[in-house]
A = this chain, B = another copy of it.
Amino acid sequence: MSFVSSNEFVPDSIDGQSGHFRVLAEHFSAFVCLSNAEMKLLGDLAEAARYHPPYRDLYVAGASPPPPRMIVAGWACQYRLLPDGHRQIISLKLPGDLIWPLMQVRLPSSCAVAALTELETVSAQPLIEAAASADPIHPGLAHATRVMAHLHDMLLYDQIVRLGRQTACGRFAHLMLELRERLGRVGLVDSDSFAMPLTQDVLADVLGFSVVHVNRTVQQLRRERLLDVRNGQVVLLQPERLQELAGWAPLPGLSVETKTAKRSLATESRTKSEH
């Protein structure tokens, strides 16, 4: 899988096939130790990448779900259009991500999926089948795929918290921290810096802002020397302060459990007198 096969239907190969395998291998290895047979399966998948041009819909809301695929290069998103013309991006899909998380049942989704950049995907059918099986041939792939599905849900929760309860800067910082973590799992982060091929227009639809306000927020974070976003490159200048600003907490169960004081709803004392 280290050779680059002829790719006649791949106008601009974003990355070599070996890069595709690397993404898959790194992403799965982040959750589980794979056997040689499982590695080989990923290698086989990586050889049959399919190209998708940028800004093209991969799935239209309400349609019958196509066979599942996994991104090996490029970014995509899941989004919804409102009658008034507004768009909300539900989630960003990065290399290593499954495009349709819905694996339990083949029902149409209320969200469309579109490529945000040039995109290359491979079939995820074997992974889905492994994860659905009670006694899978490839237990490592099965487990990792289930973990990824769980992580997808956690990301949706994060997105809800961002949109519902965070300030502009906190929202932006939180998203950048999420991207660093996710891209880090597939080896696309280099010392708190990573490529983010999103226009401010797209960022606005992720964060629930107007384009202008995305810009204002970037300016402010830049002025305060917390992070820099420029030419599709993000640099986290002060990750610790960003985490504080964003109320960032690492996902439980993946890294070490943080023993921060957990306040329950019952004992919640968000009363007026507290301030």
Contact = CB atoms under 8 A, between A and B. Distances in A.
B252 A108 contact: yes
Interface string A73-108: 000001111111111101000000000011011011
A134 interface: yes
Contacts of A165: 82, 86-88, 208
A160 B90 CA distance: 7
A206 B268 CA distance: 16
27 contacts: A55-B266, A60-B262, A62-B262, A85-B270, A85-B274, A86-B165, A86-B270, A87-B165, A87-B265, A87-B270, A88-B164, A88-B165, A105-B146, A107-B147, A108-B252, A109-B157, A110-B154, A110-B251, A114-B264, A114-B265, A153-B153, A156-B160, A160-B160, A160-B163, A163-B164, A164-B207, A164-B208
Given A83-B247, A88-B161, 15 more contacts: A55-B265, A56-B265, A56-B266, A61-B262, A80-B157, A86-B165, A87-B270, A88-B164, A88-B165, A109-B154, A110-B158, A110-B251, A112-B262, A114-B266, A163-B163
Interface of A: 55-57, 60-62, 78-88, 90, 101-102, 104-105, 107-112, 114, 131-134, 143, 146-147, 149-150, 153-154, 156-161, 163-166, 207-208, 247, 249, 251-253, 257-258, 262-266, 268, 270, 274
Contact of A107 (B84, B105, B253): B253
Nearest to A154: B110
B161 A82 contact: yes
A80 B160 CA distance: 10
Nearest to A251: B110
A88 B161 CA distance: 6
Nearest to A151: B107
Contact of A264 (B57, B163, B208, B268): B57
Contact of A104 (B56, B81, B86, B149): B149
Contacts of A78: 157
Contacts of A161: 80, 82, 88, 90
Given A154-B109, A164-B208, A79 B265 contact: yes
A55 B108 CA distance: 35
Contacts of A268: 81, 87
A262 to B, nearest CB: 6
Nearest to A208: B164
